[in-house]
Amino acid sequence: MARTSSQRWRQAVVWLHVITSVGWLTCALVLFTLLATSFASTDPATRVAATSMAHVVDVRLLGPFANAAAFTGLLLAAATAWGFFRHWWVLVKFAITVVQLHAGIFLLSGALQDSVAAARTGQAPAPALLIGTALMASAIAFQAWLSIAKPWRRTPWTTARKPPSASNRVFAAAVAAVLVDIATGLVLGFPSPICQLVVLAAQIVNRQRALRAA
């Protein structure tokens, strides 16, 4: 019964990862469409409306989806036998996710906010914004292919002993963390992945302790 419960919670995390990843990809395509509309339009009202809506989509939808997709993916690596560094396809997904989060938080969000102010003065969004959103969508699509194809061999750091899978409490906590953080973000008006970070950090620490004990 305990094993069945653990599998169900793990499947729930996988389901959340798929749903939020699709949401992230969809939002990236919506951002690209809105920014392209603003870039191509000569009507000031259309330009302001499209750019402003792109900023709203980024804060209200893309941010929470991106955080949840990244968290569930990292949690599945940290809480199952897949690990972070045993397979090249997992390692590549991990690297892409880190780059995407950095670019989205520190580059894209700020540039979108600036583009809203610029649109009110009649300026079009910077071409770099369109390229960035297109690259984001392409990267997510590539990660989806990696998850399905699982190409390449194992890394040189793979050990004979597989890391142990986490208990059902970890997967249950992951599901709760995603839901709580999304609800909190809706109330605050901006993404707040605090619970997800706490659960992920706790699992990584527990995994390291288990590996040392083994």
In this prediction the pTM is 0.90
Q: How many CA atoms lie within 13 A of 160 on its CB side?
A: 0
Tokens of 205: 């620490």
Number of neighbouring beta carbons within 10 Å of residue 9: 20
Per-residue pLDDT tens over the stretch 77-93 = 999 988 888 999 999 99
SS3 labels along the chain: CHHHHHHHHHHHHHHHHHHHHHHHHHHHHHHHHHHHHHHHCCCHHHHHHHHHHHHHHHHHHHHHHHHHHHHHHHHHHHHCCCCCCCEHHHHHHHHHHHHHHHHHHHHHHHHHHHHHHHHCCCCCCCHHHHHHHHHHHHHHHHHHHHHHHCCCCECCCCCCCCCCCCCHHHHHHHHHHHHHHHHHHHHHCCCCCHHHHHHHHHHHHHHHHHHHHC
Number of neighbouring beta carbons within 10 Å of residue 97: 20
Give yes or no for a contact between 139 and 100, defined as CB atoms under 8 angstroms apart: yes
Q: Provide the pLDDT confidence category of residue 4 given band limits of 50, 70 and 90.
A: low
> What's the pLDDT score for residue 3?
54
Residue 6 has pLDDT above 70, yes or no: no
> What's the pLDDT score for residue 166?
86
Q: Provide the pLDDT confidence category of residue 1 given band limits of 50, 70 and 90.
A: very low
Per-residue pLDDT tens over the stretch 14-60 = 999 999 999 999 999 999 999 999 999 989 999 999 999 999 999 99
> What's the pLDDT score for residue 20?
96
